[in-house]
Amino acid sequence: MPQYRVRFIGSRELHRDLPKVLDSLEDPKARFVLTIHSKPKAVLIGAEAFLALLRGHTAEDRLLALQLGALVRGLEAASPAEDSSEAEEVQEELVGV
């Protein structure tokens, strides 16, 4: 199985290095977690990787979802949640289980 590379990148770094990031997304194993103020806001993947996701989830993609879900849960635990049931639904969507 291929080993996916996950890299955290801040919004300023993404803005500065956008051409390089886009070039690296041609590799279907490349993954970026976009952060704003150290909080994850988006996951960037290339078009080929996205098409592969539409065809079926790999174990590596499920692992990334679990890791990202844990990171988001950790951030939510640090701040009071307005609606915990809504937060649980979002987490389930992130993990996909």
Q: Where residue 35 sits, what CATH number does that domain have? A: 3.40.1620.10
Distances (CA, A) of 18 to 11, 42, 50: 10, 15, 19
**What's the mean pLDDT when you consider all of the chain?**
76
Which residue in 38, 45, 43, 41 sits closest to 22, CA to CA?
45
| Host domain of residue 40 | 5-95
Reported as a single tens digit per residue, the pLDDT across 6-52 is 899 999 999 999 999 999 999 988 999 999 998 899 999 998 888 77
Q: Is residue 67 predicted with pLDDT exceeding 90?
A: no
Residues 6+ apart with CB under 8 A from 76: 87
| Residue 88: per-residue pLDDT | 52
User: Domain total for the chain?
Assistant: 1
pLDDT band at 85 (very low <50, low <70, confident <90, very high): low
Q: Where are the alpha helices (DSSP H) in the chain?
A: 11-16, 18-24, 47-55, 59-78, 84-95
How far is it, in rounded angstroms, from Cα 94 to Cα 68? Answer: 7
